Amino acid sequence: MKASFFVLFVFCLLAARPAAFAQGAVETDRDDFVETTLFAVSQVERISSDFIQERHLSMLKKGTVVKGHFYYEKPDRLRWEQTEPVAGGFVVNGLSLKRWGEDGKVETTVLAREPAFGLFVNQVFAWCKGDADWLSKRYDIRVISRSPPVVKLMPTIKAEKRYLDHLTITFSEDRSYVRMVDIQTKDKDIIGTTFVNTSINPPLSKDVFEK
């Protein structure tokens, strides 16, 4: 599920329309692009979205398609749920972690007892909050295209470089939302995720973050 986590926190970083653009600002270089995007992220309180993920893995002859949805609420609530072809997912609510598989059996624990899992969750929240320092220390960001808007993220941290080659993120033409996130691993695995039915700052029931 590592790739799925990575897709999620990249989407959280880039989910909202950059407010500076909406006010007529003109981004002139990569730093401006990142700055305006991070500013927009800092304004996001909640996210709801469906996703369609195509996985082409080197160990498998055929690609697979995974569908599901996720919810995020600032500062520390998260639900990532896969619905097809098999069910499974997890919910983070503060320090509490609940996860389940196809049988629906829920395992409840705390993030402190799951250091590897907790690392990914903490990364999700760091991206969702638009932590500029965290981002600049971990990625070389390249603007590939401005129409349509496309950026490429190259990892600079050794641990991440071991499995991740790069990510490519495609925005809608008006940069109001992320349309696609494509991940390529060092093993030449390709995971492409398209986000649909995305809603920024929708009302969310507290039950969403329970299982």
Q: What is the mean pLDDT of the chain?
A: 79
The crossing angle, in degrees rounded to 10, of helices 2-14 and 115-128 is: 20
Q: What percent of the chain has pLDDT over 70?
A: 74
Q: Is the pLDDT reported for residue 106 higher than 90?
A: yes
| Residue 30, CA atoms < 13 Å, CB-side half-sphere | 12
Sign of the alpha-carbon torsion through 166, 11, 82, 76: positive
Coil/strand/helix, residue 28? coil
Residue 101: pLDDT above 60?
yes
Please say whether the structural domain 2-138+202-209 has been given the CATH code 3.30.70.
Answer: no
Q: What is the mean pLDDT of the segment spanning 133-159?
A: 81
- What is the torsional sign of CA 56, 60, 64, 69? negative
**pLDDT for residue 41:** 65
pLDDT, tens digit (0-9, with 9 covering 90-100), for 178-195: 778 888 888 888 888 888
148-160 pLDDT, tens per residue? 777 888 989 888 8
The rounded Cα 48 to chain-centroid distance in angstroms is 12
Domain boundaries, the chain: 2-138+202-209
> Facing residues of 50 across strands?
69, 196
Does pLDDT of 170 surpass 70?
yes
What is residue 152's predicted lDDT score, i.e. its pLDDT?
86
The pLDDT tens digits for 43-90 are 778 889 999 989 888 777 788 899 999 898 988 899 989 999 999 999
